[in-house]
Amino acid sequence: QKEVEQDPGPLSVPEGAIVSLNCTYSNSAFQYFMWYRQYSRKGPELLMYTYSSGNKEDGRFTAQVDKSSKYISLFIRDSQPSDSATYLCAMSGGQGAQKLVFGQGTRLTINP
Amino acid sequence: EAGVAQSPRYKIIEKRQSVAFWCNPISGHATLYWYQQILGQGPKLLIQFQNNGVVDDSQLPKDRFSAERLKGVDSTLKIQPAKLEDSAVYLCASSLGVGASYNEQFFGPGTRLTVL
């Protein structure tokens, strides 16, 4: 079993839709939860990070962490074609606190 | 602020050949990471440096991969000899890296390696 599971998609939605992306994990030591966005032929860039459980909002993006269920989510409101990318969840914490463990990534396409 | 620089951007080699990748982190970042990202997968950490010392190389295939970070600044990752399964994007990242709390990692554009 992988430490972090993420549905690879692909996911295709119309412009303006609400997008929900999620990951599950098995390591209860994880404390930091991140979402990265990766455009084709580019390196990942940090979108949001959350410490422990709770919600965090930044513009059209909302990250949720439920440590009791070992489940994290990213919501994108009013999705735009420019949001088309691969979204990677990543986690760290416990021993080796700075080591990131990534999910497989979900490929998202927003259709105009 | 300049980002993480990597070169070359693309490399094609035949199996059993050797190859080297170079990374220059963001100025002042003490921690440097090399990740391997196989097509359709998330990045996997190969090695982590704190200044010029190795913090974690548990997932580095040491029989063929080596990495160094001389003077605690830029770094090279080498593969010798390469195998077909080494075809991937090699990402370098850096962070301020002080202490055990969260430090944002900034990624370079990666080097896309194809082994024929």
Amino acid A96: pLDDT: 54
Partner B contacted by A92 (CB < 8 A) = yes
Residues of B in contact with A51 (CB under 8 A): 102
Asked if B96 contacts B103 with a C-beta cutoff of 8 angstroms, the reply is: yes
Residues of B in contact with A47 (CB under 8 A): none
Partner B contacted by A106 (CB < 8 A) = no
* Phi–psi pair at B21, nearest 5 degrees: -120, 150
pLDDT higher than 90, residue B61 = yes
d(CA B35, CA A44): 11
Query: Any bridge partners for residue B12, and if so which?
Result: B114
pLDDT higher than 60, residue A17 = yes
Amino acid B98: pLDDT: 64
| Banded model confidence at residue B70, pLDDT cuts 50, 70, 90 | confident
pLDDT mean over B47-61: 92
Closest Cα in chain B to A6: B42
Partner B contacted by A88 (CB < 8 A) = yes
Task: With CA atoms as reference, report the closest residue to A80 among A13, A2, A20, A30.
Answer: A13
Closest CA of chain B from A66, distance in Å: 19
Closest Cα in chain A to B109: A43
Asked if A34 contacts A58 with a C-beta cutoff of 8 angstroms, the reply is: no
Amino acid A52: pLDDT: 85
Task: Give A76-80 contacts, CB < 8 A, sequence gap 24+.
Answer: A76/A18, A76/A19, A76/A21, A77/A18, A78/A16, A78/A18, A79/A13, A79/A15, A79/A16, A79/A17, A79/A18, A79/A19, A79/A110, A80/A15, A80/A110
Per-window interface: A 46-65 vs B, CB < 8 A: 46, 49, 51
Partner B contacted by A105 (CB < 8 A) = yes
Q: Which of B1, B90, B105 to mutate to test the interface with A (most CBs of A within 10 A)?
A: B105
Q: Please write the tens of the pLDDT for every residue from A50-109.
A: 988 889 999 999 999 999 999 999 999 999 999 999 999 999 886 556 789 999 999 999
The minimal CB distance from A43 to the residues B41, B42, B108 is found for B108
